[in-house]
């Protein structure tokens, strides 16, 4: 996914229905929306529903010329997502769904071959980073992320504090980020390839 600045030109291309710009827009914000929603919604289907509804409303707003600050496009998407999420909470409490609402077509995130290769390279890099870590740090990550144990209890067991955990993740991320940036920048817009097992 190539990095693009969100400016007036970008918004104009979205409004004009430029396919590649729409692909980029959906791919870029899909990842952020999914990250945002995963701590708030339990079901993948609910996450997908909210994601789609958010894009439906954003594209409707674009077509209606309601985006007045192009440089705040991201904040607008986030705000729209919050609104949809609140409606989803209310709808869930009333045992109704958003399925009856009008659905509009917009580019879906897809998986491409080059993206799969890039994902494989990134997986190998992460494996390398993990192998270079001390055994204790690997066990720490395992208990936090894989076994999803209580973080305070894990830190206590390993004799570290929460800041140690943050720094461990920060360093790992920094080691991985350059390759990630290289692969993300090289991928065509709209391509999302995450190794799912």
Partner 1 sequence: MDHDEAVRQKATERYLLDELDPDLRDKFEEHLFDCQDCALDVRAAAMFVEQTKVILAEPPAVSVANVPAGAATAKPGWFAWLRPAFALPVLALLLAVIGYQNFVTYPSLVATANQPQVGTWISLNVSTRGTAANSVRVHRGEGFGVLANLPPQDGFASYTADLYNPAGKQEWSRQIATASQETRQIYISGHNLESGTYTLVVNGVTPGGESKELSRHPIDVQIQN
Chain positions contacting partner 1, by CB under 8 A? 3, 5, 28-29, 31-32, 35-36, 39, 71-72, 74-75, 77-79, 82, 122-123, 126-127, 129-130, 138, 141-142, 144-146, 151, 162, 165-166, 169-170, 172-173, 176-177, 180-181, 184, 194-195, 197
For partner 1, the closer of residues 90 and 142 by Cβ is 142
Q: Tell me, letter by letter, the H, E, C secondary structure of 12-76.
A: HHHHCCCHHHHHHHHHHHHHHHHHHHHCCCCCHHHHHHHHHHHHHHHHHHHHCCCCCCHHHHHHH
Nearer to partner 1 by Cβ, of 46 and 129: the residue is 129
Give min distance, CB of 93 to partner 1, in A.
19
Closer residue to partner 1 in complex, CB, 75/97: 75
């Amino acid at each position: 996914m190539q990095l693009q600045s969100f400016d007036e030109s970008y918004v104009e291309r979205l409004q004009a229905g430029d396919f590649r710009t729409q692909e980029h827009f959906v791919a870029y914000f899909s990842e952020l929306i999914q990250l945002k929603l995963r701590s708030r919604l339990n079901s993948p289907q609910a996450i997908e529903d909210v994601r789609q509804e958010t894009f439906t409303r954003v594209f409707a707003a674009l077509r209606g010329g309601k985006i007045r600050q192009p440089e705040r496009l991201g904040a607008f998407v986030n705000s729209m997502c919050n609104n949809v999420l609140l409606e989803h909470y209310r709808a869930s409490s009333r045992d109704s769904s958003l399925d009856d609402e009008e659905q509009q077509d917009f580019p879906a995130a897809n998986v491409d071959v080059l993206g799969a290769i890039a994902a494989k390279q990134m997986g190998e890099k992460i494996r390398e980073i993990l192998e270079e870590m001390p055994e204790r740090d690997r066990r720490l990550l395992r208990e936090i992320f894989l076994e999803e144990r209580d973080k305070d209890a894990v830190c206590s067991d390993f004799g570290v504090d929460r800041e140690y955990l943050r720094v461990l993740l920060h360093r790992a991320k920094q080691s991985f980020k350059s390759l990630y940036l290289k692969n993300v920048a090289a991928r065509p817009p709209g391509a999302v390839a995450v190794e799912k097992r």
